[in-house]
Amino acid sequence: MTANLRKSDPPMTVRRLAHLGGVTVHVVRNYLRRGLLRAASHTEAGYQLFSTAELHRLHFIRTAQRLGFTLAEIEEILRRSRQRKSPCPLVRDIISRRLTETRDQLEQLLALQTRMAQAVAQWSRLPDAVPTGNDVCALIEAVAASEAAVAPKSTPRRLLGGRNASEETAS
C-alpha cells in the first residue's frame, strides 16, 4: 500500500506505520530493534510515534530487500548515509556480487531441473520394485547407476534394461 502522507500529517503509531508500509507490526518492531527505524517521539502513555520520514525509510528498506540486500547490508547503507558518506559504491559492489551469486545459483538450479527431468523420463520406463537386501529405492539407485555408468550390485538388472555394466560399455 502506498502512503499519501504530507509533512504536516500527524505522527503515526507502530500499527499505522506498519499498515501504510504494507508490513506487519512485528516487522516494524524488528526494524526498530535493529536500529533501521527510529521513533520521532513518544506519547505520555509510552507509545512510539513516527514521522513520514520513517515511512519513507520503511519503503526504502523493503525495496532494498526486494533487490536482494540483507538487513545487515541495509544497516550498513543507512549507517553510511547518516554519516553523510555516499553508500552508492557499497551498494554497487553488493549488487554486483549478488548478481554473480544469483547467476551461479540459477545455473545450479537449471542443472538440477535437467537431472530431475531426466530422472522422470527414466523412471517412466521402469517398473516399481520392492527393496531386496541393501537397496532402498530402485528408482534413485538407477539414476546413481546411470550417472556412474556402472550398476551397483543392489540395483536389479531388470531396472537397467536387463544388461550388466560390462554389456553397457560394450554397446
Q: Distance between CA atoms of 111 and 104, rounded to whole angstroms?
A: 11
pTM above 0.75, yes or no: no
The predicted pLDDT at position 113 comes to: 96
Q: How confident is the model at residue 114 (pLDDT cuts 50, 70, 90)?
A: very high
42 DSSP assignment? E
Cell of 88: 552508492
The tens digit of pLDDT for each residue in 6-46 reads: 556 789 999 999 999 999 999 999 999 999 999 988 888 88
Q: Judge contact between 60 and 27, C-beta under 8 A.
A: no
At residue 136 the predicted structure's pLDDT band, cuts being 50, 70 and 90, is confident
For the chain, the average pLDDT equals: 84
Please state the rounded mean pLDDT for residues 120-138.
83
- Report CA 41 to chain centroid distance, whole Å: 35
Helix (H) or strand (E) segment spanning residue 90: helix 88-124
The three cell numbers locating residue 3: 502512503
Q: In sequence order, which residues have a C-beta less than 8 Å from that of residue 39 and are 6 or more positions away?
A: 32, 48, 49, 50, 54
- In the predicted structure, residue 132 carries a pLDDT above the cut 90: no
